[in-house]
Structure 1
Amino acid sequence: MKKSRNFFRVGFLALTLALVLFLTGCTNGLTDTTNDIIDEGLNDIVGTADDAGVFETLLAAAEEAGLVDALKAEGPLTVFAPNDKAFEDFLNAMEMEASELLADPRLANVLKYHVVPGKVMSTDLSDGMKADTLLNPQQIEISINEGVFLNEDIEVITPDVEASNGVIHVIDGVLWPADIVETAVANGFDTLVTAVVTADLVEALQGPGLFTVFAPINEAFDALPSGVLEELLDNPEDLADVLLFHVVSGQVMAETVVGLDGQEVETLLGETIEVTIEDGKVFINDSEVIITDIQTLNGVIHVIDRVLLPQD
């Protein structure tokens, strides 16, 4: 009889375990804001989002921005995914139509700001943590206070939706990265920022276009001949010309700049700058590019060690 009781006990435990696993599987999905996702071998991030049925705007944006293949790649990646309600609220706040968002040249950068390299589960997040994104070096700030929040006010409403190439965390808002001016402020380009404000170019450099800025370090302004900087600051129109001589239309990443060796590139001033490569170093006219690919909402910053002057 002891053998029978042991057999009954083992059978009962097995049945209980099976029932627990079944119930866990039934609840291992999204909340009612995202519908249920059934884990059947795990789809990739794009397929998982598509199966959920509440990421239509996000998927349309990824398609328009040319990021679908990247989100279907091996990864792993972590996507903080705004659902359709989040996009609806965002568009209302921005007084934008969905079609305007999809046509916005900044769209790819906005989406890249929602993607973190690697697979980061909710248990990996901690209060005060800063997560790197594909829009390098822009980061997402994590805070934990009766929930997980991104950049203080966007909440993770459904965490840990696993995919074959990463994980999705559903969020209730759209993350908006820092633009060129905000990034310059945050990275200590004090003299450049002062010049931009004085020349009344802040609004232009925060606009919806994509720009490439060759940004002189503070020491570059200090190295100008005596009196030149002061004279420029006293003459905003001349100062604006100098600053526009540092800006190129479009987002030109470092790998593209390297391919422009010996070529001239038109600036927003209408005059050209020359790209040359010597001993593996990249020069814009006579200024060396010392840091590359600081990505922002509306373009990219490359740091240079001398101020470019149009008469050069």
Structure 2
Amino acid sequence: MMLSKIFPRTLLALALVIGTTLTLTSCDDNEPMPLTPENLVEIAAASPNFEILVSAIQEAELEDDLSVGGPFTVFAPIDEGFEAFLTANNLTASELLANPDLENILTYHVISGEINSFDVEPGSLTTLNESQFYVSEDPSGDLWINGRAKIISTDIGATNGIIHALDQVIIPPSESIAEIAVANSTATEPEFTQLLAALNRAGLVENFSGDAMDNLTVFAPTDAAFEDLYQTLGVNGIDDIPLDLLTDVLQYHVVPSRAFSQDLRQDASLPTLLEGEMLTVDLANFQINDSALIPSALNIHAVNGVIHGIDQVLLPPME
């Protein structure tokens, strides 16, 4: 039975304003139909897509905050996103729920205030844990968070905010670009060892530590890319490259702004730290200049920027 046929619209509006709970009885007087607004947690709990998220909210003791407080905007990973996160990090759901960083991870998905989809624009947003995440818009118009999580459903309304669904979990970065390079160079399958050696020789490691410069994009050549460069130059290694040239080459790989792969546009020119020199984006061939972007090494998020792996060392124009 249609609600508008039972109560005039004005009476319904008044009832909602003063918070009165209306209970309608169906034609056979069996099932009552409560008209009760639902908060963010109740909306998520009623969905089959947010079961892990709701369990995590309860385990982190955030249920009261997200039920009564607000308004909030929740960027909510669906269960498949959590499952992918667990697999990638070799975790069980129980281990995730017992993780001491669980509250920090969850509050990284929450923004104070209500932001509908029309107001979600490329740029940074400050989260409930006082970190920032970054919104990018790809060429097709889809929105992404930190280059990792795609917004797949929007504007799920609640009494104390709004939910936008994500296909992946986002994690607040904890390491600088320099720290990520160091960690990768000492991993079981090391990478970026030659890049780190080059930065050390040029005295530039501190520039990428997060204290000296922020919001950087580094196109990071792999070790194989450096080995190809040594062969091309006819040298044995980093120490054989003139220091001035090495410094110029390294600066040519750095853009002084944070650009995730979704932010890149065909034929765009990107300014670099090497004064007056630009990089050219070729999305048709997925390249920066003549160096291919490596899909498995894109959007490595750091506290002070983002890293993209590339398969060749970029050489600035020589005078």
- Classify the TM-score, shorter chain: 0.3 to 0.5
TM-score by length of 2: 0.46
TM-score by length of 1: 0.47
Answer 1 or 2: which has greater helix percent.
Answer: 1
